[in-house]
Amino acid sequence: MALLLDNQFQELPPDKAVDTKLFLEAVSHLPPFFDCLGSTVFSVIKSDINGNITKIRAVYVEDPAKYITLQDILEAERQAHGAAWPKVGATLALMWLKRGLRFIQIMLQSLADGDRDMNNPNLIRVNVTKAYEQALKKYHGWIVQKIFNAALLAAPYRSNFLKALSKGEEVKEEDCLANVRQFLVNYTATVDAIYEMYTNLNAELDYTV
């Protein structure tokens, strides 16, 4: 579980503002998560997440004092880009990034909740499918959906996934899932806060790719 616990997300302040620097530091360690899923199809999500992190960081480093929180970035871009916003810049990058983060959250929560296929209890297909359908599917056209449906069938064994998540260490399943639950506390709060921010700013878009 070192992959997750080594880079915990910070607890949010009462106003749920997400500190840009801390967020970028924490989220930059997440792309290797998709290597644990085995299929090269998931490398598409990994690449997308890496690219979106890079775009957000590029905006942040232009003026760290101005972009202390993620909302500072969205509001500045809304003012700068007018009618083109929110389909521009870091606002668009974060829009897609949060969907990848939601995928991770739902999958891990499903594992932690004990969701499993009773006919194939050592497969995580049920967990990956739930995450894909709730976090990403609605934003994908039918061609991309077919590609991911094939990847879902190739999802790794539960034991192999948890071992990969633990960087190859032999960890008891119950201990691994306890670590997942610990990681999810601040992680889920952060992802929820970003989704709430997009709703409040009317910055969400539903187009498909």
Interval 28-72: pLDDT, tens: 999 999 999 877 778 888 999 999 999 999 999 999 999 999 999
Interval 152-177: pLDDT, tens: 888 889 989 998 888 878 888 999 99
Interval 83-97: pLDDT, tens: 999 999 999 999 999
pTM: 0.95
- Please report the domains of the chain, with CATH numbers, ordered by start residue: 17-198 (1.10.3520.10)
Angle at 120 between CA 114 and CA 126, to 5 degrees: 50
Q: What is the mean pLDDT of residues 69-84?
A: 98
